[in-house]
């Protein structure tokens, strides 16, 4: 009986450690907010050209696990996307998620009404490749919005 208990305890500990390892692979809400604030300061200090190049750099300082920076102008054109360079320069105002949520319109509305906050939708995770629930933190910086999202 004692051996069964020890085996069950060992299995429980192994599962708990595995769950922690998976969680460590995902960015947190606090990390997303900090990344957006860091990106805003970088944009202000270095200008759009240099900032967008760094935001778009997959090996740059604005990519951390599943966290990356996105930038849109207030008309819906993508200026930077740290996970998918194919989106850069495209008018994505009508982009919707799998449930029909107007993602970029919601970003812009939030930026224009509150200046910052969270937008919920579903999006492909660049790490897992699965469509997952996502929440993106947005801040308005002049004529653009900067965001970074977390997968739930």
Q: Each residue of 42-97: pLDDT tens digit?
A: 999 999 999 999 999 989 999 999 999 999 999 999 999 999 999 999 999 999 99
Return the closest-CA partner of residue 136 out of 57, 32, 30: 32
Q: Where are the beta strands (DSSP E) in 9-143?
A: 63-64, 67-68, 70-73, 78-81, 116-124, 131-141
Give residue 24's pLDDT: 62
pLDDT at 129: 86
Please report whether residue 118 resides in a domain. yes
Residue 117 located in a structural domain: yes
Residue 12 inside a domain? The answer is: no
CATH of the domain at 86: 3.30.450.20
Residue 15 located in a structural domain: no
Number of domains in the chain: 1
d(CA 152, CA 150): 6
Tell me, yes or no, whether 55 lies in a domain. yes
Neighbour count for residue 33 (Cβ, 10 Å)? 16
d(CA 118, CA 40): 16
- Domain-located, residue 75: yes
Nearest-angstrom CA–CA distance, 66 and 108: 23
Number of neighbouring beta carbons within 10 Å of residue 44:
11
Name the residue range of residue 135's domain.
Answer: 27-151
Q: Is 78 within the bounds of a domain?
A: yes
Question: C-alpha distances in angstroms, 127 versus 20, 95, 135, 150?
Answer: 17, 21, 16, 12
Report residue 131 as tokens. Answer: 């469509």
Q: Are 134 and 121 in contact (CB under 8 A)?
A: yes
Split at pLDDT 50, 70, 90, the class of 10 is very low
Domain-located, residue 33: yes
Claim: this prediction has a pTM higher than 0.85? no
Q: What percent of the chain has pLDDT over 90?
A: 74
The tens digit of pLDDT for each residue in 105-150 reads: 999 999 999 999 999 999 888 778 889 999 999 999 999 999 999 9
């Amino acid at each position: 009986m004692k051996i069964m208990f020890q085996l069950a305890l060992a299995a429980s500990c192994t599962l708990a450690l595995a769950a922690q390892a998976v969680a460590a692979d995902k960015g947190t809400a606090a990390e997303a907010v900090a990344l957006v604030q860091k990106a805003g300061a970088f944009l202000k200090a270095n200008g759009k050209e240099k900032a967008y190049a760094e935001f778009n750099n997959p090996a740059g300082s604005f990519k951390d696990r599943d966290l990356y920076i996105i930038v849109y102008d207030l008309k819906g054109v993508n200026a930077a996307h740290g996970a998918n360079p194919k989106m850069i320069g495209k008018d994505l105002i009508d982009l919707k998620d799998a449930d029909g949520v107007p993602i970029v319109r919601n970003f812009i509305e939030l930026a224009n009404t509150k200046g910052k906050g969270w937008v919920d939708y579903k999006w492909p995770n660049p790490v897992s490749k699965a469509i997952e629930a996502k929440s993106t933190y947005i801040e308005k910086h002049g004529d653009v919005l900067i965001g970074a999202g977390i997968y739930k």
